[in-house]
Every structure is written in structure tokens, then in C-alpha cells.
Amino acid sequence: MLDIGWSEMALVALVALIVIGPKELPQAMRSASKWIRKGRSLAREFQSGVDDMVREADLEDARKAVQNAKNFDAEKALEQTIDPTGGLRDEAKDLAQTARDEDADPPAEAEEPEPKIESAEDHMAARAQEKTGQAGTIEPPVTAAPAEDNAEAMAEADASKSA
């Protein structure tokens, strides 16, 4: 505390005895102890007031923390973390609006699909018609007929050659 040893206390007591006198020394010691008790009680009261203020401040901080936890919006916090400027949200709204508009308005005229060409011969015939500007249908390629039909076709071809 004050780091006063026994020798210093004895010196103070001797000086007090000489200055105050032996008759009034007990009353002076009582009044000094009274003032010391009063000072200690004021110090204790001041310390308890400071402790109360600290406790209230801590309680206020704790109350605010509880209130913030109660009002915590996870969705908003996540959105603020991922998209702090709001650009992604605006873009998503625009895309959703565009999709809704496309669903509401079907295309005015659908183009007819190109005819499917099954063989190289058909493809060549189609290209030739495109180049010459002739329109029409593509004739299917001649396929081999069964053996009986083939014999008849041969006979007809021979008859037309000899005639």
C-alpha cells in the first residue's frame, strides 16, 4: 500500500506525541481513524458505482447482442455476402422478365424445316435443282426390285432395244 515500515511508524508516533502532546493524542488518533474510515467508505462507494456502470454497460452490450441475434435475417446476410451491390439480383429479375415475355409471345412465323435427305444421290439431286432454280420434289432413287420383277423389267428393256 504505502510501504511504510515499523521504523517509519514509530518515528511518526514520536513526532505526533511531541507536537500534539500526550493529553490530546488519544482523541487525535480517534479523529484520524474516523477520517480514514470515511475515506475508505467513499472509495468503496465510488468503486461500487464504477462497477455498476461497467456491469450496466456490459448488460447493455449483451442486450444489444441478444436483440441483434433475435432480428437476424440469414437470407439478407447471405445476399449481402454474395451480392453486396445488388447487380446479380437485378440481372436475375431481368432474365426472369425476359423469360416471361418469351413465354407470353410465341414466335410469329416458324420456318419450315429443311427436308431430310437420306442418301448422297438425293443430296446431289437437291443441289442440282437449287442451282438450276427448278422447284419440285426430289424423286426417290431407283432401288433393285425382287428377282421376278427384275426379269420382267429386263424383258421389257430388251423389247424396247430391238424395236
pLDDT digits (tens, 9 = 90+) for 127-152: 777 777 655 555 555 555 455 556 67
Residues 36 and 81 in one domain: no
Give residue 44's pLDDT: 94
Range of the domain at 94: 74-101
Residues 65 and 18 in one domain: yes
Which of 133 and 1 is assigned the larger pLDDT? 133
**Residue 17: pLDDT above 70?**
yes
Cell output for 28:
487525535
Provide the pLDDT confidence category of residue 110 given band limits of 50, 70 and 90. Answer: low
Task: Specify if 48 maps to a domain.
Answer: yes
Residues 59 and 81 in one domain: no
Residues 58 and 31 in one domain: yes
Measured at the CA of 119, the angle between CA 117 and CA 124, to 5 degrees, comes to: 80
Measured at the CA of 89, the angle between CA 85 and CA 91, to 5 degrees, comes to: 105
Instruction: Give the lowest-confidence range in 27-36, 41-50, 108-117.
Output: 108-117
pLDDT exceeding 70 applies to what percent of the chain? 71
Residues 63 and 79 in one domain: no
Give residue 124's pLDDT: 72
Indicate the number of domains in the chain: 2
54/48 Cα distance (integer angstroms)? 10
Cell output for 124:
446431289
Residues 45 and 82 in one domain: no
Kindly list the distances between the CA atom of residue 74 and the CA atoms of 91, 101, 140, in Å, as whole numbers in the listed order. 22, 32, 68
Give residue 118's pLDDT: 58
Task: Specify if 51 maps to a domain.
Answer: yes
86/74 Cα distance (integer angstroms)? 16
What percent of the residues of the chain are helix, what percent strand, and what percent coil, each to the nearest 5? 70, 0, 30
Residues 22 and 59 in one domain: yes
Domain finish residue from 24, 53, 70: 70
Task: Specify if 44 maps to a domain.
Answer: yes
Domain finish residue from 85, 101, 117: 101
Residues 14 and 52 in one domain: yes
In whole numbers, what is the pLDDT of the chain averaged over residues? 77
Four-residue CA torsion sign, 98, 102, 108, 114: positive
